[in-house]
């Protein structure tokens, strides 16, 4: 399923869910919430009434009637009678003032049995039948136990103007006297309200459905079209033909477009460097192979030329080929993380001295001079000794290959804070400033005409960079054209 279709369906489902919840709470649960609100308010009023004195009853029932539409009748319980001492009658009919004496006695008995909490119920024509007649007296003769059976209640056919109400009947004490209170509050006329809300919701549902449809179409198009455009452009990525879409979509899509653009540039650069590497390696391979082949043919055809010097040329060129293949394999293994560093603790100054001692034969035979300056005390670090040996050797080889006719290389170690910095400096032509950021890049070669190196295959810096990264070393290069280059790396000192 296409992304645009999925987004369209999700937006429609969200709209349908929103409308469904609106119908549920506004229509399906309307009566439930109305009853809960009125019942809670009646409970509060009943509790408040029990804290009042008789002198406050009239004001209390008046305020409750005006603010909450509550009808109230408060009776003092005397010997053999209920005497009305507080009364409030709202406009229109109400349950409290419509209940005949016999049914009042019944409610008094229910409240008496549930003292002190009282009795509360939802009243409708099928819950409590009664006569639709006003009470004719303010004093009701009653047995104090309220003994009227429910089957003896007078029957009633309700008026169309009367709706459901919440009725509260409670018995309480105030001072030395005992009182019986009847209070009723009408529920909202949910029948007419439900019809009104239903009509409103029908209109709102139609409008919401139309709006959701338009929003779903617009949003799905807005979100999916930039991705579809980006996908078409990304299909050209392997060929290096990716062109940024310049999409104005959301930030994540813009970031993806920028990332793909950077990846396309990197792929193009790597492809260019790969072709350059193939050309350079082909040149490096062809030269020793040509020499090996030429000297071998000469020795085969001219037995007198099978001298030690000619044999050494073949051996040297074979060694060069071996070194080149080894470095290619090393670069491949380090790049694919097949080779993991084996961390150990060692004295970096003594370690560097051992590396430079391996150049003694070359310095004596070819006149090179390697100057080494270091701290007078041991400086311990943690790294893979074998990898760091390779990296330092590559830097020294690089300096030997590029130093000037003085054939001098300077190796310097110093402590800077909690780091030991090792630098290798040549006195050659230096590196142009625009090439310094690229000098560590994989496959990179300088812009000068390719020439055969004195030592190594030209891949040393790529290998060195990966070794430093695997061992957590900081590294860099400083160079001034005409004065030489300084490659350095720093390792954390163990205290």
- Are 108 and 161 in the same domain? yes
- Are 389 and 464 in the same domain? yes
- The whole-angstrom separation of Cα 331 and Cα 461 is 10
Residue given tokens 């030489």 in the structure block: 484
Kindly compute the dihedral angle of the four CA atoms of residues 60, 65, 70, 75, in this order, to the nearest 10 degrees: 40
Environment class of 50 (CB within 10 Å of its CB; exposed 0-12, middle 13-18, buried 19+): middle
DSSP 226-271: HHHHHHHHHTTGGGT--------S-HHHHHHHHHHHHHHHHHHHHH
Query: What CATH number is attached to the domain comprising 308?
Result: 1.10.287.130
Distances (CA, A) of 181 to 47, 82, 127, 293: 11, 10, 20, 123
pTM exceeds cut of 0.75: no
- Are 411 and 306 in the same domain? no
pLDDT at position 192: 59
Alpha helices in 24-56 (DSSP H): 30-49
- Are 308 and 347 in the same domain? no
Q: What is the extent of the structural domain holding 300?
A: 251-334
3-state secondary structure 262-286: HHHHHHHHHHHHHHHHHHHHHHHHH
- Are 149 and 197 in the same domain? no
Distances (CA, A) of 327 to 399, 439, 473: 18, 17, 21
User: Which of 334, 359, 374 delimits the end of a domain?
Assistant: 334
Q: Report the phi/psi class of residue 188: left, alpha or beta, with left for phi > 0 and alpha for psi in -120 to 50.
A: beta
381 with 493: CB under 8 angstroms? yes
- Are 318 and 352 in the same domain? no
81 with 141: CB under 8 angstroms? yes
DSSP 307-343: -HHHHHHHHHHHHHHHHHHHHHHHHHHHHTT-S----
Please indicate, yes or no, if residue 240 is contained in any of the structural domains: no
pLDDT at position 200: 73
DSSP 91-116: SS--STTT--HHHHHHHHHHHHHTTT
Please indicate, yes or no, if residue 42 is contained in any of the structural domains: no
Mutual orientation of helices 460-470 and 308-335 as an angle, nearest 10°? 40
Name the token pair of 331. 């670069």
Report the number of secondary-structure helices (H) and strands (E) in the chain: 11, 13
Q: Report the phi/psi class of residue 11: left, alpha or beta, with left for phi > 0 and alpha for psi in -120 to 50.
A: alpha
- Are 344 and 440 in the same domain? yes
- Are 178 and 90 in the same domain? yes
- The whole-angstrom separation of Cα 341 and Cα 231 is 39
- Are 213 and 326 in the same domain? no
Q: Residue 432: CB partners within 8 Å, gap ≥ 6? A: 447, 481
pLDDT at position 156: 42
Please indicate, yes or no, if residue 35 is contained in any of the structural domains: no
List the Cα angle 412/417/423 in 5-degree steps.
20
- The whole-angstrom separation of Cα 40 and Cα 88 is 20
- The whole-angstrom separation of Cα 491 and Cα 418 is 9
- The whole-angstrom separation of Cα 21 and Cα 232 is 41
Please indicate, yes or no, if residue 92 is contained in any of the structural domains: yes
- Are 354 and 443 in the same domain? yes
Please indicate, yes or no, if residue 86 is contained in any of the structural domains: yes
Strand partners, 122: 166
- Are 14 and 129 in the same domain? no
| Total of domains in the chain | 4
Strand partners, 178: 173
Environment class of 424 (CB within 10 Å of its CB; exposed 0-12, middle 13-18, buried 19+): buried
- The whole-angstrom separation of Cα 338 and Cα 330 is 10
72 with 106: CB under 8 angstroms? no
- Reduced to 3 states (helix: H, G, I; strand: E, B; else coil), residue 138 is coil
pLDDT at position 410: 95
Kindly compute the dihedral angle of the four CA atoms of residues 375, 376, 379, 385, in this order, to the nearest 10 degrees: 80
- The whole-angstrom separation of Cα 106 and Cα 7 is 64
Half-sphere exposure of 364 (CA within 13 A, CB side): 6
- Are 264 and 143 in the same domain? no
Tens-level pLDDT at each residue, the chain (495 residues):
565 666 667 677 777 787 777 777 666 777 777 778 888 888 888 888 888 888 888 888 888 888 888 888 888 888 767 888 888 877 656 777 777 776 777 778 777 777 666 666 655 544 443 333 334 344 444 444 444 444 444 444 444 444 577 888 888 888 788 888 888 887 765 555 666 667 777 787 777 777 777 777 776 666 667 777 777 777 766 665 656 666 665 666 777 777 777 777 777 777 776 676 676 667 667 767 887 888 788 888 877 777 888 788 788 778 877 877 777 777 677 666 666 788 999 999 999 999 999 888 777 778 889 999 999 999 999 999 989 998 998 899 889 888 888 889 999 999 999 999 999 999 988 888 888 888 886 555 555 543 334 444 567 788 889 889 989 999 999 998 888 999 999 999 998
42 with 213: CB under 8 angstroms? no
Query: What CATH number is attached to the domain comprising 380?
Result: 3.30.565.10
């Amino acid at each position: 399923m296409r992304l645009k279709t999925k987004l369209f369906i999700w937006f429609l489902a969200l709209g349908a869910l929103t409308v469904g919840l609106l119908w549920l709470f506004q229509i399906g649960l309307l009566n439930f919430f109305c009853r809960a609100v009125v019942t809670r308010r009646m409970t509060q009023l009943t509790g408040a009434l029990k804290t009042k004195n008789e002198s406050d009853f009239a004001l209390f029932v008046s305020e409750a009637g005006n603010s909450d539409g509550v009808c109230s009748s408060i009776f003092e319980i005397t010997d053999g009678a209920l005497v009305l001492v507080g009364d409030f009658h709202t406009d229109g009919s109400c349950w409290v003032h419509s209940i005949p004496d016999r049914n009042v006695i019944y409610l008094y008995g229910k409240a008496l049995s549930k003292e002190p909490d009282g009795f509360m119920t939802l009243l409708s024509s099928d819950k409590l039948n009664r006569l639709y007649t006003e009470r004719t007296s303010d004093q009701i003769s009653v047995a104090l136990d309220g003994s009227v059976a429910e089957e003896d209640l007078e029957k009633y056919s309700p008026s169309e103007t009367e709706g459901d109400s919440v009725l509260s009947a409670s018995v309480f004490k105030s001072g030395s006297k005992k009182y019986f209170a009847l209070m009723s509050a009408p529920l909202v006329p949910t029948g007419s309200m439900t019809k009104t809300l239903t009509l409103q919701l029908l209109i709102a549902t139609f409008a919401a459905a139309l709006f959701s449809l338009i929003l779903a179409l617009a949003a799905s198009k807005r979100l999916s079209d930039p991705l579809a455009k980006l996908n078409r452009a990304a299909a050209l990525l392997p060929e290096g033909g990716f062109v940024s879409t310049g999409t104005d979509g959301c930030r994540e899509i813009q970031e993806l477009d920028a990332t793909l653009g950077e990846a396309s540039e990197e792929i193009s650069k790597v492809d260019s460097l790969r072709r350059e590497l193939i050309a350079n390696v082909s040149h490096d391979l062809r030269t020793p192979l040509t020499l090996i082949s030429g000297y071998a043919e000469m020795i085969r055809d001219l037995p007198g030329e099978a001298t030690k010097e000619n044999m050494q040329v073949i051996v040297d060129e074979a060694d060069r080929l071996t070194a080149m293949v080894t470095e290619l394999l090393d670069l491949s293994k380090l790049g694919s993380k097949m080779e993991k560093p084996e961390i150990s603790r060692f004295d970096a100054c003594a370690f560097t001295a051992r590396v430079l001692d391996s150049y003694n034969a070359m310095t004596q035979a070819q006149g090179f001079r390697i100057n080494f300056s270091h701290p007078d005390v041991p400086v311990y670090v943690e790294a893979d000794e074998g990898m760091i040996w390779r990296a330092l050797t590559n830097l020294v080889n690089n300096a030997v290959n590029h130093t000037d006719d003085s054939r001098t290389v300077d190796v310097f170690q110093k402590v800077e804070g909690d780091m030991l910095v090792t630098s290798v400096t040549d006195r050659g032509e230096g590196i142009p400033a625009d090439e310094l950021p690229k000098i560590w890049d994989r496959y990179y070669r300088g812009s000068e005409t390719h020439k055969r190196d004195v030592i190594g295959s030209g891949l040393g810096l790529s290998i060195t960079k990966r070794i430093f990264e695997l061992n957590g070393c900081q590294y860099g290069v400083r160079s001034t054209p005409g004065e030489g280059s300084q490659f350095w790396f720093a390792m954390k000192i163990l205290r």
